[in-house]
Structure 1
Amino acid sequence: MKKTTIYIDGYNLYYSRLKGTPYKWLDIVALFRDRILFPQDPTAEVVCIKYFTAPVKASYAQHGEASNHAQTQYLRALESKYGGLVQVIKGFHIFEPTRLPTHQPGVDPNKSSVSPVWMIEEKQTDVNIALHAYRDAVRGDADQVVICSNDSDMEPAMRMIREDVPGVAIGLVMPLRDTSSMAGKVPNKRLTKQAHWVRHHIRDDELALSQLPQNVPTKKKPACKPVHW
């Protein structure tokens, strides 16, 4: 059996594939292990699924405090249903005032016209994924790493794993819609070049069949699917 760890960029998965769909209450084990990985590699033994995210900022979220509550319920559901198989690794958001070029149709950005804006960034997610994947590979904790992302920041880590630990296989799952409806989002060629195998999209039927129960038992109160999800 091939020891395999799956690394999921939660931000990338949400904004590239789940936003605007009814599939946010996603069972990541059922999707990535059972419906994507096993058909690709029946010899894979998933030893861990690492889900990388950052706490929602209620003041900025569309649904305010309800968005923060929804994320908390979701993470509780995943950890309670799967115990140590699923690990949640958290980064954080920063909000800083800055000045950026003002958008003017048909005009290239320039410093002569700038506007004050808030810069909003999710921090540590990319570096956490890269370091976890590289460390697991060099330590021998994984014979295969499977990364769910379409972010070019993953390319150096994937390249270094190939160079430093050539016996470790690299799988890549793009959190994109089917090619017929990707709305301008395309697979990142920097990443596909480094992977041994690539899944270029995630289908709606796979998401629909990979949903958590409406209420997931926990040691305390059940984790319940948010109403607005």
Structure 2
Amino acid sequence: MRTAFFVDGYNLFYGLLADTRFKWLDLPRLLLHIVQIEEPASRLASVDYFTSSVKPSLATRGRASKEAQDTYIRALKAAKVKVHLGRHQLEPAKAPRFVDKSTHASRQDTVDIWKLEEKETDVNLAVSMYRLASKQACRPASERIEQLVLVSGDTDMTPALRAIREDFPELTLGVILPYRPEYQRPPPGSLKALAHWMRRVITAEELQGHQFPHRVTTHKAPAIKPDYW
């Protein structure tokens, strides 16, 4: 079963990898490991990874955070992952002032804030999934993708999954939630209802067992694991 993966990089990082020592993740190997547990006949056809560039001025480690992300993207590309970059938009906004947990938010009592939003990632991911699904009928049977797997817990992807499920019922849809077991989050109901199968957590043992080597060969300079990762 030829399988294409679509990964929400922001969701993956903050749901699974932040504050861990497993950021140097060999994503294709991990995804193939998971999908073959769900369906042993699965084969990896492609991995598409969607993210936005780090803004050094807002990152915990400044320029080093941006350099670490760039290095990881080079390692992913060397592993034949197709990387799609969106953008971050920072603009002034207003938000309700926090008083305490017993006081409701009010639009009559606001403070000025900087609002950071990731732009284009969700739309790019949804369009890419649908476009790939729509092209399969024109391909030779031996080259057709038979399974699409979303790696995200974002319910904004629900309309895309619903459209694919309705328009291309021959395709199998899987969802891998980038959650740690200790978080005990309930699965997003709308994604669960549309998926043929869902993996709810990824363990620390799985992350540890699927890391890139310290030095990844690329077409140019090698990608070397950032020191603080």
- The two structures have a TM-score, normalised by structure 1, of 0.94
Gap runs ≥5 in structure 2: 137-143
Q: For the residues of structure 2 that align with 1:74 and 1:111, how far apart are their CA atoms?
A: 41
- 1:78 CA drift (Å): 1.4
Runs of 4+ in 1 over 2 A off after TM superposition: none
Bigger shift: residues 146-155 or 134-143: 134-143
- Residue 146 (str. 1) matches residue 141 (str. 2): no
Please list, as runs of the form range in 1=range in 2, the aligned pairs for 1:17-166 lying within 5 A after superposition.
17-33=16-32, 35-80=33-78, 82-83=79-80, 86-105=81-100, 106-140=102-136, 142-166=145-169
What amino acid maps onto 2:183 in structure 1?
M
Q: What is the alpha-carbon distance in structure 1 between the residues aligned to residue 165 and residue 219 of structure 2?
A: 41
Alpha-carbon displacement from aligned partner over 1:160-181 (angstroms, at most 9, x marks no partner): 1111110011000000011xx1
Q: Distance in 2 between matches of 1:43 and 1:138?
A: 23
1:27 partner amino acid: D
Structure 2 SS opposite 1:153:
helix
Mapped partners of 1:129, 1:41: distance in 2: 23
Aligned residue pairs total 221
1:186 positional shift: 2.9
Residue 217 of structure 1 and its aligned partner are, at CA, apart by 1.4
Paired residue type of 1:14: F
Q: Deviation string for 1:26-80 (max 9, x for gaps)?
A: 00011001x2011211222221100111011000000000000000110111112
Counterparts of 2:41 and 2:115, CA distance in 1: 44
Distance 1:46 1:57 in 2: 32
* 5+ residue gaps, structure 1: none
* 1:48 aligned counterpart, secondary structure: strand
Counterpart-to-counterpart distance in 1, 2:198 and 2:108: 44
Hey, what's the Cα distance between the residues in 2 that align with 1:218 and 1:45? 24
Look up the SS of the partner of 2:50 in the other structure.
Answer: strand
Distance 1:163 1:14 in 2: 30
**Could you tell me the TM-score, scaled by structure 2's length?**
0.94
